[in-house]
Amino acid sequence: MSFCRNETGRLLAALAATRSGTLAEFGTGCGVGTAWLRSGIREDARILTAELEPRLADAAATIFADDDRVEVLAVDWSTLRDKGPFSLLFLDAREPVDSRDGGADTIIDLVEPGGVVVLDDFTPCSSWPPVFDGRVDVLREQWLTDERFTTAEVMVAPDASVLIATKR
């Protein structure tokens, strides 16, 4: 089971503090990323988070049961399409979301103009094209070259980076 690193969490809290409206997380896990987002959200914002694994969703829902600004759903993230567009969307790039499901083509309509997408769990790479595990990292390359987004890779630790993409 993966969870949101503290370095990524602090970045999420800072980004959440800049957003209003609905923020979303696809892949709640045990709720660590959700808690980081919650620590930064403004008064005019709320968080909607989706977790496919019912046991994890129930555990996270228990944590946020008394918080009317956080809604935890035990659903596949793709069922939330009608809940957007989102002002910030956080997703784990190395989980079941792959280049088909987590690529910009899938995400573009889920984010409002000027909205931010944060993808975590990347290993820093200074080469081009980006390489992960001995192969071209297609997901990272797609996000870094998609003209509908302005995307930067940001190292949050010597062994971890995130992509931050702003919808144009």
**pLDDT single digits (tens) 74-102:** 999 888 888 989 999 999 765 444 444 55
Question: In terms of pTM, does the model score above 0.75?
Answer: yes
Could you read off the pLDDT of 16-44 as tens digits, one per residue?
A: 999 999 999 999 998 999 999 999 999 99
Domains identified in the chain, total number:
1
**Domain-embedded: residue 62:** yes
Residue 45 lies in a domain: yes
Burial 112-135 (b: 16+ CB within 10 A, else e): beebbbbbbbbeeeeeeebeeeee
Domain membership flag for residue 65: yes
Picking from 29, 21, 7, the residue whose alpha carbon sits closest to that of residue 113 is: 21
Domain that holds residue 146: 6-167
CATH code assigned at 146: 3.40.50.150
109 DSSP assignment: G
Rounded Cα distance between 129 and 48, Å, is: 34
Mean pLDDT along residues 59-81:
94
